[in-house]
């Protein structure tokens, strides 16, 4: 049986780092952290049992193996882009194409789209999901719900709702502590769940809250949505976007596990393709803003006592 190919994300990180000869520049281009680029390249090196870059104090240099690999990877990435372009061209007449992060689609589109589609039976919708921020650069959707830092969003992108980093857990995990929220000491005894790739949220939250000596996260997920799923299942305590967690907080599947919050580096942004049908776009964006406002208000009502 043929061995499975390495993930495309590994090749993408290698190709960008090879063009820039810098993990930092590759991270900036792809909207990831420097550590995520480094980890992806290292994973590729381990898989191929060879070193692709010489790590130097002022940058990178391709090894002979890296130079041999680069042309084929560059050609393959170009072929994938061309293939996608065949299907992601101009919008089909009467069809609104929406691109969104997997997490956002899971927690807002799945439970809420009936409130858009049922009153508007003539609206046709196609949803494309993404994981990494750079995937939006290849999207030709009419509406995009992008996740990332403001510097990567481009002109005209509008941030969706207020957001912050909050600590979340299944209700029974918090109940075991005998308190409405966990103390910092109780938090140190928990398994920490971390979303990897875009930012180091536990570190950011702890620094903002002036909390030291938190254990290293030992359950990793590639999206905030999976962090929420893991936390709902009682696998540990996660730090995540309050906006994304709002539906689960409102439903009572999650609770805010620690009283302190922190600003978030990343966020969810709404971007509109100017060529899109304005009436369909208005229907969708009005619905989306109502959904996020509704979920956030319900979640805030259940979180009010944390600030007291």
pLDDT at 138 over 90: no
Cβ proximity of 198 and 244 under 8 Å: no
Q: For residues 13 and 118, give the distance between their C-alpha atoms in angstroms, rounded to a whole number.
A: 42
- Per-residue exposure over 131-147, b if at least 16 CB sit within 10 Å of its own CB, e if not: ebbbbbeebbbbbbbbb
The answer as to whether 306 is a domain residue is no
Residue 146 sits in the same domain as residue 169: no
| pLDDT of the residue at 90 | 45
- Tally of domains in the chain: 3
Q: Are residues 82 and 38 in the same domain?
A: yes
- pLDDT for res 307: 41
Q: 146 and 33, same structural domain?
A: no
Q: Are residues 242 and 290 in the same domain?
A: no
Verify that 181 and 41 share a domain, yes or no: no
Residue 60 sits in a domain whose CATH number is 1.10.10.10
Does 73 map to a domain?
A: yes
Whether residue 73 is found in the same domain as residue 119 = no
Mean pLDDT, the chain, integer:
85
- Stretch 31-53: mean pLDDT: 87
Rounded distance between C-alpha atoms, residue 223 and residue 156, angstroms? 25
DSSP structural state of residue 239: E
Residue 272 has pLDDT above 70, yes or no: yes
Q: Do 35 and 179 sit in the same domain of this protein?
A: no
Mean pLDDT of 294-305: 81
Q: What is the pLDDT of residue 151?
A: 67
Q: What is the pLDDT of residues 202-228, one digit of tens each?
A: 988 999 999 988 888 999 887 888 999
Q: Whole domain around residue 108: which residue ranges?
A: 95-162+267-300
Name the CA radius of gyration of the chain, rounded.
Answer: 21
Q: Do 286 and 253 share a structural domain? A: no
The CATH number assigned to the domain holding 155 equals: 3.40.190.10
- 174-204 residue pLDDT tens: 999 989 899 999 999 999 999 876 567 898 8
Tokens of 1: 């049986």
Looking at the fold, whether 101 and 171 belong to one and the same domain comes out as no
**Residue 227 resides in a domain:** yes
Per the domain annotation, does 233 fall within a domain? Answer: yes
Distance separating alpha carbons of residues 262 and 163, to the nearest angstrom: 9
- The per-residue pLDDT for 150 is 73
Q: Are strands 192-195 and 219-221 parallel, antiparallel or unpaired?
A: parallel
Domain co-membership, 287 together with 174: no
Residue 3 lies in a domain: no
Q: Could you tell me if 53 and 191 lie in one domain? A: no
Instruction: Report how far Cα 157 is from the mean position of its chain's Cα atoms.
Output: 16
Q: Is the pTM of this model over 0.75?
A: no
Q: Are 7 and 131 in contact (CB under 8 A)?
A: no
Domain boundary among 86, 112, 135: 86
Residue 2 falls inside a structural domain = no
Q: How confident is the model at residue 58 (pLDDT cuts 50, 70, 90)?
A: confident
In a domain, 308, yes or no: no
User: Within its chain, how far is the Cα of 107 from the centroid?
Assistant: 13
**In the listed set 86, 110, 129, which residue is the last one of a domain according to the structure?**
86
Asked if the structure places residue 1 within a domain, the reply is no
Residue 94's contacts (CB-CB under 8 Å, 6 or more residues apart) are 124
Asked if residue 110 and residue 152 are part of one domain, the reply reads yes
Per-residue model confidence as pLDDT tens digits over 222-263 = 788 899 999 999 999 999 999 999 999 999 999 999 999 999
pLDDT at 45: 92
């Amino acid at each position: 049986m043929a061995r499975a190919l390495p993930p495309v994300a590994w090749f993408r990180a290698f190709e960008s780092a090879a063009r820039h000869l810098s993990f930092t520049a590759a991270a900036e281009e792809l909207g990831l952290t420097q550590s995520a680029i480094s980890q992806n390249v290292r994973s590729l090196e381990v898989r191929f049992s060879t070193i692709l870059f010489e790590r130097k104090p002022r940058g990178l240099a391709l090894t002979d193996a890296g130079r041999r690999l680069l042309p084929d990877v560059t050609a393959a990435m170009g072929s994938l882009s061309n293939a996608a372009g065949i299907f992601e061209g101009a919008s089909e007449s009467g069809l609104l194409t929406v691109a969104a992060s997997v997490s956002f689609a899971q927690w807002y589109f799945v439970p809420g789209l009936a409130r858009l589609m049922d009153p508007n039976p003539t609206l046709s919708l196609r949803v494309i999901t993404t994981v990494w921020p750079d995937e939006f650069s290849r999207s030709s959707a009419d509406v995009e719900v992008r996740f990332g830092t403001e510097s990567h969003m481009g002109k005209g992108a509008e941030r969706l709702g207020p957001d912050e980093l909050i600590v979340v857990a299944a209700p029974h995990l918090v109940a075991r502590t005998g308190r409405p929220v966990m103390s910092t000491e109780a938090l140190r005894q928990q398994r920490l769940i971390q979303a990897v790739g875009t930012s180091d949220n536990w570190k950011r939250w702890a620094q903002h809250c002036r909390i030291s000596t938190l254990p290293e996260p030992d359950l990793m997920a590639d999206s905030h949505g999976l962090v929420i799923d893991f936390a709902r299942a009682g696998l540990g305590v996660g730090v995540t976007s309050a906006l994304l967690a709002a539906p689960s907080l409102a439903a009572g599947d999650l609770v805010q596990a620690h009283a302190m919050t922190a600003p978030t580096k990343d966020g969810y942004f709404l971007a509109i393709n100017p060529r899109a049908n304005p009436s369909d776009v208005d229907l969708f964006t009005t619905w989306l803003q109502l959904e996020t406002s509704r979920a956030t208000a319900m979640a805030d009502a259940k979180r009010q006592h944390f600030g007291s």
